[in-house]
Chains A and B, each alone.
Chain A
Amino acid sequence: MDADYRRRTGRIFDIQKYSIHDGPGIRTIVFLKGCALRCQWCCNPESQSHEIETMTVGGKAKVIGRDVSAEEVMEEVLRDWPYFRRSEGGLTLSGGESLLQPEFAGALLRIAKESGVTTALESTAFADFAVIEREILPWLDLFLMDIKHMDSAKHRRFTSQGNERMLENARRIAAAGQALIIRVPVVPTFNDTPAEIAAIARFASSLPGVTRLHLLPYHRLGQDKYERLGRRYLLPDLLPPPQERMELLAETARAAGLTVQIGG
């Protein structure tokens, strides 16, 4: 890797500080723009397109997306170094799909590691494993990987992509010895039956070294963003899964021998 990694540029749409539900300690999340999936429940619809776009915020047009260098981003992120140090927290990359900008994502993670803070990545692993292995894994402490469904056809229907590549990558990432937590967005009508969750849990527990599973209940906090982007929300009548349902699914998943928590 050349020494110019600090000046690599990429496209982000948000930096969120004091994030306490996405990895250990106090973390700052950098959201990279652009995703290969189009999950119908996505709570960050502004993350999906790689293009810079306009969203109405508080009655005013706001530009979503900016091109920045890795060191610029990390200067902002490392302002919270005192809290990272005290909590063993650090940088989390999210999106969008960070792996669509692998060199940039890798540069961010590398600067973070060099500054002595921990790194995490929230991703569906939708990329070539070779790229992941080269750009990401050397600088990554914790991979928070989304697995949404074991049935590829249903996966495709709800997210626009099949799941083969993700499952394959999950196996290879785990085999590489990467610390890995599997996260499942629990979406009613899509994957909220015990059978569907159990299938994911069984897969997760088959991955070497994987012991933990997070069940993330569907929420509607992103719904109004669709309107503000001039888009239509495809699941207007969907209700978040009740707590009892989540408890039941967690219990089901535990049967696969995993440590399961509800929420991040």
Chain B
Amino acid sequence: MGIMGRFYDEDIKKSPRIDRLISHLYAKMPVIEADRAVLLTESYRETEGEPVILRRAKAFLKICRELPITIRPEELIVGSNSIAPRGCQVFPEYSWEWLEKEFDTVEKRSADPFYISDETKRRLREVLPYWKGRTTSELATSYMAPETLTAMKHNIFTPGNYFYNGIGHFTVKYEEVLEIGFAGIRDRAAAQLAECGLGDPDYASRVSFLEAVILSCEAASEYGRRYSVLARELAGRETDPARRAELTRISEVCARVPEQPAASFYEACQSFWFVQMLLQTESSGHSISPGRFDQYIYPYYKADLDAGKITRESAQELLDCIWVKLNDLNKVRDKDSAEGFAGYSLFQNLIAGGQDAEGNDVTNDLSFMCIEASMHVRLPAPSLSVRVWNGTPNEFLIKAAKLTRTGVGLPAYYNDEVIIPALMSRGLTVEDARTYNIIGCVEPQKAGKTDGWHDAAFFNMCRPLELVFTGGRESGELVGVETKPISEMRSFDEFYDAYRQQMDYCISLLVNADNAIDRAHAERCPLPFQSCMIDDCIARGKSLQEGGAVYNFTGPQGFGIANVTDSLLAVKKLVFEDKKLTLEEYREALRKNFGRGLGTRETEDLVAQVAGGMSAAGQPVGEAEIRAICEAVRKDPVSPAEKAKYDQLLDWIDELPKYGNDVPGVDAFAREVAYLYTKPLQNYRNPRGGIFQAGLYPVSANVPLGSQTGATPDGRLANTPIADGVGPAQGRDTHGPTAACNSAARLDHMIASNGTLFNQKFHPSALSGIEGLQKFASLIRGYFDQKGMHMQFNVVSRETLLDAQAHPENYKSLVVRVAGYSALFTTLSKSLQDDIISRTTHGF
């Protein structure tokens, strides 16, 4: 491929406005604002006893009418969720107690701090208590089985995302809003309403839903008109004639969209933006992804360019403005989640390139301009993705590689040749599968037809392995299922079978948790605004949360394949084949963390034991005593002989072949290990009528969840990170990027239809010159030829990262790819920074 001159792939000059917009956006720490929570609560108080879907719509209408609005200096695309740049609103309908507890610490916490004023605290304190007993989180908890709650307490998995927040993780039919406006959608709903038969069995719910849709369309239309008025007022006061003209234009544009169809490229861009931001006003779900922006905006771009109404440069400037605005949206998470999702990221995934419904390549000039925009702004949002298939033009891949080379951690590369059949295997039509886009980190779906629940939980595959060693018990509690005591195991098969049993059981608990949360959202937080832009909600007369989408999935992620593979193989070889030690000895080594200081859980258990013994003996056990015991226990000196024994064990482990080095036998085993998660999961169903489908990636949860995991038989020490995505364990791959790619490609990516994540870190020198770019592109093609699904790259030097850690003030804009997204390195927690640094650097 690659007929030169087919595309405009030259650099396009960046408008000086863009850097000024960025400076303004990042001048201060983000702020928490109270207005949405106050308006929401006021509305709920007024609608007590009404159908929940109408209460949601009325609250949304009130928010759109009364939420303070602002136009920031020099903006061309307008609409902000908060008055403060990068500010955020509060969504107490999902959960709120954590926020109140963090009022005085949220400003100083290490991951994603927010400023909150005393006035905001006061206003929030007035409304938050209203939500006691009314949140989705509380209802979900009440629906969960006791065993599930126990497993969650022990960190076997975490459904944190949807447990405490909105769902998000969808792409709406932006193209429909551009084409017919909210007026058109409102008319569609009204027509459906007129057809409701008085004798229909679902008359009540259908009518309420359609009325809610109509209110939501009015809300969005009114919100746009408020900006028209504001822009006109500002234009009247503006002394700079150039800016006055811009404001006047903004006022004209917002007078029409999003209510009316977009009549120009500018209106299309502005209408898109209103949809994108209002979706994030309606609910706190993240990963609300713009999807195939280069496809649905292109007709407007092409028409205006051909008509001479815009130039490439002016169009690029508007795109750049949208890119900046995507970073204006923000969300406050609880402290623990903030560490797992560090970097203020909302995972707004925007994808360029790929095929149309008939399988033709539809890469266009706008696809190139999307990459150009990310080069211009160099910010974490949007999470830019590119679709790659055998027909992808070479020059497009080279343009993408140039962006990779900047070190911004973008774009992520996706393989059509795996994703399309994977989606079809889940029941999508070939046309829907071919026009997929990516949600959030790495999750494929058909836009405008899917409720994917793509980030439904993180499942730590190392924890069931720990449970095998303890027969399912931990800290005196039955957490997993009771399996055969290791002292009685006579073969590796018995050990492996026990792991399978623990996995099966824990997966069933995960499903129990997700379905409880699913139900809670349907009952308490159905979302009429987003539902009106996803098929087939209007025709079915029900919200997305109640199963209104054409395709319904639940996609929880498993991670730790590399650690579990290396661990099981170590047990097999050292215990059962070479008989170098017994399983009990192995367990002792893990408990003692290979003689490298006790891990957190062992420490806590021992402290509890000692304290229990003391108080039983009538001794006082206060805070000071506990601290002293803790100190003594943590050191837990091992004897030199013991230490030598553990060192020997670590040496034996080191010498074993590891996943990530292109060793076919090891990789084949890894494939089986991944199946232990992906296969059982697909047998479960969710309350929306869909199935579960597995993903294999941890976002950045491999760090915080690793910190809750004891030492593992692969030599990984207690509380250290779990392996990232489908990649090798940290520092275990020693044969370069192609070997790591080959190992990862030996997994079955097709069955992990909720996405897999393969991270590689490159030094910029590996991408120097056109030859370096071409070789880099070939690496991606080679991995994809072997049916790998996704690849992403950090291109920075280790020295740069170490220096950034030491002098964060000099690296405020250093962007790294963390997992499925890019984040500002200096905003990440220290442990996550260390993890990024320790990942093997290839390509010197």
When distances are taken between beta carbons in the complex, the residues of chain B under 8 Å from A25 are 775, 778
Q: Mark B721-761, 1 if CB is under 8 A from A, else 0.
A: 00000000000000111110010000000000000000000
A87 is an interface residue with CB less than 8 A from chain B: yes
Give Cα A89–Cα B779 distance, bound, in whole angstroms. 11
B394 → chain A, closest Cβ, in Å?
11
| Interchain Cβ contacts under 8 Å between A and B, 24 examples | A16-B736, A17-B737, A17-B738, A17-B739, A18-B736, A18-B737, A18-B779, A18-B842, A20-B771, A26-B775, A26-B778, A79-B739, A79-B742, A80-B782, A82-B783, A83-B782, A85-B782, A85-B785, A86-B778, A86-B785, A87-B774, A87-B778, A87-B779, A89-B778
Instruction: Tell whether, in the assembled complex, residue A17 and residue B736 are in contact, meaning their CB atoms are under 8 Å apart.
Output: yes
Which B residues between 769 and 823 are near A, CB-CB below 8 angstroms?
771-772, 774-775, 778-779, 781-783, 785-786
- Known contacts: A25-B775, A79-B742, A83-B779. The answer to whether A20 contacts B785 by CB under 8 A is no
Give Cα A86–Cα B735 distance, bound, in whole angstroms. 20
14 more contacts with CB within 8 A, not counting A17-B736, A20-B775, A79-B742, are A16-B736, A18-B736, A18-B842, A20-B771, A26-B782, A80-B738, A82-B781, A82-B783, A82-B786, A83-B782, A86-B778, A87-B774, A89-B775, A89-B778
Instruction: Tell whether, in the assembled complex, residue A26 and residue B738 are in contact, meaning their CB atoms are under 8 Å apart.
Output: yes
When distances are taken between beta carbons in the complex, the residues of chain A under 8 Å from B739 are 17, 79
When distances are taken between beta carbons in the complex, the residues of chain B under 8 Å from A82 are 781-783, 785-786
Instruction: Tell whether, in the assembled complex, residue B778 and residue A17 are in contact, meaning their CB atoms are under 8 Å apart.
Output: no
Give Cα A83–Cα B783 distance, bound, in whole angstroms. 8
B662 is an interface residue with CB less than 8 A from chain A: yes
B2 is an interface residue with CB less than 8 A from chain A: no
When distances are taken between beta carbons in the complex, the residues of chain B under 8 Å from A16 are 736
Q: Mark A77-101, 1 if CB is under 8 A from B, else 0.
A: 0011011011101000000000000
Instruction: Tell whether, in the assembled complex, residue A17 and residue B735 are in contact, meaning their CB atoms are under 8 Å apart.
Output: yes
Tally A-B pairs: CB < 8 A.
Answer: 54
Which A residues between 1 and 47 are near B, CB-CB below 8 angstroms?
16-18, 20, 25-26
Instruction: Tell whether, in the assembled complex, residue A20 and residue B735 are in contact, meaning their CB atoms are under 8 Å apart.
Output: no
B843 is an interface residue with CB less than 8 A from chain A: yes
Closest A residue to B735 using CB positions = A17
Instruction: Tell whether, in the assembled complex, residue A18 and residue B782 are in contact, meaning their CB atoms are under 8 Å apart.
Output: no
When distances are taken between beta carbons in the complex, the residues of chain A under 8 Å from B779 are 18, 26, 83, 86-87
B766 is an interface residue with CB less than 8 A from chain A: yes
A27 → chain B, closest Cβ, in Å?
9
Give Cα A25–Cα B771 distance, bound, in whole angstroms. 8
Give Cα A20–Cα B737 distance, bound, in whole angstroms. 12
When distances are taken between beta carbons in the complex, the residues of chain A under 8 Å from B737 are 17-18
Q: Pick from B735, B766, B772, B783 the residue with the most CB of A within 10 Å.
A: B735
B169 → chain A, closest Cβ, in Å?
33
Please, how many residues of chain A have a CB less than 8 angstroms from a CB on the other chain?
Answer: 14
Which A residues between 114 and 152 are near B, CB-CB below 8 angstroms?
none
Which A residues between 67 and 81 are near B, CB-CB below 8 angstroms?
79-80
Instruction: Tell whether, in the assembled complex, residue B775 and residue A87 are in contact, meaning their CB atoms are under 8 Å apart.
Output: yes
Residue from B771, B778, B842 within 8 A of A83 (CB atoms): B778
Give Cα A25–Cα B781 distance, bound, in whole angstroms. 13
When distances are taken between beta carbons in the complex, the residues of chain A under 8 Å from B842 are 18
Q: Mark B140-183, 1 if CB is under 8 A from A, else 0.
A: 00000000000000000000000000000000000000000000
Closest A residue to B663 using CB positions = A79
Q: Pick from B737, B738, B739 the residue with the most CB of A within 10 Å.
A: B738
B736 → chain A, closest Cβ, in Å?
4
B758 → chain A, closest Cβ, in Å?
15
B745 → chain A, closest Cβ, in Å?
8
Closest B residue to A261 using CB positions = B769
When distances are taken between beta carbons in the complex, the residues of chain B under 8 Å from A26 are 738, 775, 778-779, 782
Instruction: Tell whether, in the assembled complex, residue A86 and residue B782 are in contact, meaning their CB atoms are under 8 Å apart.
Output: yes
Give Cα A244–Cα B554 distance, bound, in whole angstroms. 59
When distances are taken between beta carbons in the complex, the residues of chain A under 8 Å from B662 are 79
When distances are taken between beta carbons in the complex, the residues of chain A under 8 Å from B774 are 87
Q: Pick from A17, A83, A85 the residue with the most CB of B within 10 Å.
A: A83
Instruction: Tell whether, in the assembled complex, residue B782 and residue A20 are in contact, meaning their CB atoms are under 8 Å apart.
Output: no
Residue from B738, B771, B785 within 8 A of A18 (CB atoms): B738
Closest A residue to B843 using CB positions = A18
- Known contacts: A79-B739, A80-B738. The answer to whether A20 contacts B772 by CB under 8 A is yes
Give Cα A79–Cα B664 distance, bound, in whole angstroms. 10
Closest B residue to A24 using CB positions = B771
Which A residues between 158 and 185 are near B, CB-CB below 8 angstroms?
none
When distances are taken between beta carbons in the complex, the residues of chain B under 8 Å from A79 are 662, 738-739, 742
When distances are taken between beta carbons in the complex, the residues of chain A under 8 Å from B782 are 26, 80, 82-83, 85-87
Closest A residue to B778 using CB positions = A87
Q: Pick from A17, A79, A89 the residue with the most CB of B within 10 Å.
A: A17
A208 → chain B, closest Cβ, in Å?
26
Give Cα A195–Cα B782 distance, bound, in whole angstroms. 44
Which B residues between 678 and 727 are near A, CB-CB below 8 angstroms?
none
Instruction: Tell whether, in the assembled complex, residue B843 and residue A86 are in contact, meaning their CB atoms are under 8 Å apart.
Output: no
B556 → chain A, closest Cβ, in Å?
31
When distances are taken between beta carbons in the complex, the residues of chain A under 8 Å from B781 are 82, 86
When distances are taken between beta carbons in the complex, the residues of chain B under 8 Å from A85 are 782, 785
Give Cα A79–Cα B741 distance, bound, in whole angstroms. 11
Q: Pick from B735, B739, B778, B783 the residue with the most CB of A within 10 Å.
A: B778
When distances are taken between beta carbons in the complex, the residues of chain B under 8 Å from A83 are 738, 778-779, 782
When distances are taken between beta carbons in the complex, the residues of chain A under 8 Å from B742 are 79-80
A8 → chain B, closest Cβ, in Å?
24
When distances are taken between beta carbons in the complex, the residues of chain A under 8 Å from B771 are 20
Q: Pick from A18, A26, A85, A89 the residue with the most CB of B within 10 Å.
A: A18
When distances are taken between beta carbons in the complex, the residues of chain B under 8 Å from A17 are 735-739
B51 → chain A, closest Cβ, in Å?
57
Give Cα A20–Cα B767 distance, bound, in whole angstroms. 9
Give Cα A185–Cα B736 distance, bound, in whole angstroms. 25
B797 → chain A, closest Cβ, in Å?
15
A175 → chain B, closest Cβ, in Å?
29
A181 → chain B, closest Cβ, in Å?
14
| Nearest 6 interchain pairs by C-beta | A87-B778, A83-B782, A82-B782, A86-B778, A86-B781, A18-B736
B2 → chain A, closest Cβ, in Å?
13
When distances are taken between beta carbons in the complex, the residues of chain B under 8 Å from A18 are 736-738, 779, 842-843
Give Cα A16–Cα B782 distance, bound, in whole angstroms. 17
Give Cα A87–Cα B783 distance, bound, in whole angstroms. 12
Give Cα A20–Cα B764 distance, bound, in whole angstroms. 13
Give Cα A32–Cα B786 distance, bound, in whole angstroms. 30
When distances are taken between beta carbons in the complex, the residues of chain A under 8 Å from B736 are 16-18
Give Cα A82–Cα B766 distance, bound, in whole angstroms. 19
